[in-house]
Structure 1
Amino acid sequence: MRIDAKLKGEVVRLFWARSRRLFVSPKVVVGKRVDRAESFGKNIILKLEELAIRLHLMMYGTIHLYRLDEPLLKPERMVRLWLEGDRLRLVAYNAPIVELDSYERLMSRLRVELGPDPLRSEWNPEEAARRLKASGTKVGIALLDQRVIAGIGNILRNEILFRAGIHPERHVDDLNMEEVNRIVEEAKRLTDMFLKRKIKGERIGPILMIYNRFRQACINCGGPVKFYLQEPIKRKTFVCERCQH
């Protein structure tokens, strides 16, 4: 994670946040050293000794790193978090969730609220399979439920199901365990693949097999790729009716 490489070791000299989720005094952040940045699902966690800052950007939030002498690239009214060290300044714009708490309390909450994360060391494929099978909905909907598997977005959802050969409209109750395990295995494999390309600065477009291939031939069978918005979540869905059952 670029934030981790840039901020690790910085000592906080100035901290400000606009949030109702500050569970410890912001004053105690000043003087803390940034130990690391990590992710849990779609959350970014900054660990500052015994404290942690959680950021969730959702669709519209962004994080910028500046040198101390650099001007902001966006208006100050959009700032939700400002963290300044001796060399760098981290600014989060329009982040819907900014949370400050002890690291242990925050991580304990996330482990309850979220499903297993394929990118974390404690990834548990058996628990992910259990949650997917127990989700009680269509598999295309279940994969976007962060309580099932944390960190899966819409592009990944489409790619996982295509490579697993599973139609997004299949209900999880109709999936056998071999199919469930195949989905979980693809979730792990693809999240690892996406992360490696991101770290290298490579685009994911060249490795996509189904996403945004509407009106193109299926890469596997040559048949048509269908596009629709899956209900009720209304998310872009691409499917090959021949390859996905």
Structure 2
Amino acid sequence: MPELPEVETVRRTLESLVIGKEIKDVSIFWPNIIKSPAQPEQFRDALIGQTIHGIGRRGKFLIFYLDDYAMVSHLRMEGKYALQEKDTPYDKHTHVIFSFRDGTELRYRDVRKFGTMHLFSKGEEESQQPLMHLGPEPFSKEFTAEYLSSRLLKTSRKIKPVLLDQSVVVGIGNIYVDEALFRAGIHPERIASSLNEAEIKVLRQEIVDTLSQAVEKGGSTIRTYLNSQGEMGMFQLELYVYGKKGEACKRCGTEVVKLTVGGRGTHICPSCQKLHD
């Protein structure tokens, strides 16, 4: 699933491609993607005549800001947007097409059909599901060491599942949790409340730094992820542990191992990330 850096890369790409375009029509081939309004026809009718003025991001969600509405889009596992000329052929995995008055089309393609789209009156999107219970952005002023400490010290859960909890901090998934924990020297099975203030301060900084560097590199191209122009992110070349099972740790040479933590495949260096009692 694309995480914050990949979704931010998609956001920036789309912003350069579709700002100022007016929607002439919307074709919906897989109605289950539309989660609100209740009827896909209402979604289509509301968007006709609307102009895209901006594209935001909240965690792993894209937000299209139009004249009167905000469309919240989650790519899930393999959702992708692409801008095409209207006569360009499309395949069976293209499920929603936004046709613009200038003859171009923004097409949403999703092999697994897990993606979602919600349409709200502009200004109401943050107070409704799926955005209403999300935690702070990692790059925001709210995501301080003090805030993170207040969340970690109250729980007996392991640190990795806590960091994957989008109500604690948004946008971090499996790849970047593994990388941030490695950089901070923290084992993913540590009980969150066992971390001391110094460790939490380092962890918070490594989360921010890891995500910042990933955004600069355009995200990580893992499996089939590409951005909206079909380009590969390059942060996978900077990864320390994720997907490196059996390889030598870049820091100490110990073999990277793969565990299961909270039901998720998890990569660590046993020497750099020791499990304390």
After superposing on structure 2, the runs of 4+ consecutive aligned residues of structure 1 that deviate more than 6 Å are none
Query: 1:197·1:204 contact (CA, 8 Å) conserved in 2?
Result: yes
The residue type equivalent to 2:121 in the other structure is S
CA distance in 2, matches of 1:56, 1:227: 28
The residue type equivalent to 1:2 in the other structure is T
Q: Which residue of 2 aligns with 1:29?
A: 47
Question: Does residue 62 of structure 1 match 2:80?
Answer: yes
Query: 1:129·1:184 contact (CA, 8 Å) conserved in 2?
Result: no
Query: 1:217·1:224 contact (CA, 8 Å) conserved in 2?
Result: yes
Cα distance, 1:52 vs structure 2 = 0.9
Q: Which residue of 1 aligns with 2:9?
A: none
2:168 is paired with a residue whose SS is coil
RMSD: 2.3
Cα distance, 1:106 vs structure 2 = 0.8
CA distance in 1, matches of 2:97, 2:202: 42
Match of 1:189 among 178, 195, 209: 209
Runs of 5+ unmatched residues, structure 2: 1-11, 220-230
What are the within-5 Å matches in structure 2 for residues 140-219 of structure 1?
140-198=160-218, 202-219=233-250
The residue type equivalent to 1:8 in the other structure is I
Residue-by-residue CA offset, 1:207-236 (whole Å, 9 max, x unaligned)? 111112222222112222221222x32x22
The residue type equivalent to 2:132 in the other structure is V
Runs of 5+ unmatched residues, structure 1: none
Relative to the length of structure 2, the TM-score reads 0.78
Cα distance, 1:29 vs structure 2 = 1.7
Question: Does residue 244 of structure 1 match 2:235?
Answer: no
Give the direction of change, closer, same or farther, for the CA distance of 1:128–1:21 in structure 2 (3 Å limit). Answer: farther
Cα distance, 1:177 vs structure 2 = 2.0
Query: 1:159·1:211 contact (CA, 8 Å) conserved in 2?
Result: yes
Q: Which region of structure 1 is more displaced relative to structure 2, 144-153 or 19-28? A: 19-28
Question: In the comparison of the two structures, how many residue pairs are matched?
Answer: 239
Give the direction of change, closer, same or farther, for the CA distance of 1:48–1:160 in structure 2 (3 Å limit). Answer: same
Residue-by-residue CA offset, 1:126-154 (whole Å, 9 max, x unaligned)? 43443344454101111211111111011
Query: 1:117·1:150 contact (CA, 8 Å) conserved in 2?
Result: yes
What are the within-5 Å matches in structure 2 for residues 214-229 of structure 1?
214-229=245-260
Relative to the length of structure 1, the TM-score reads 0.87
The residue type equivalent to 1:203 in the other structure is M
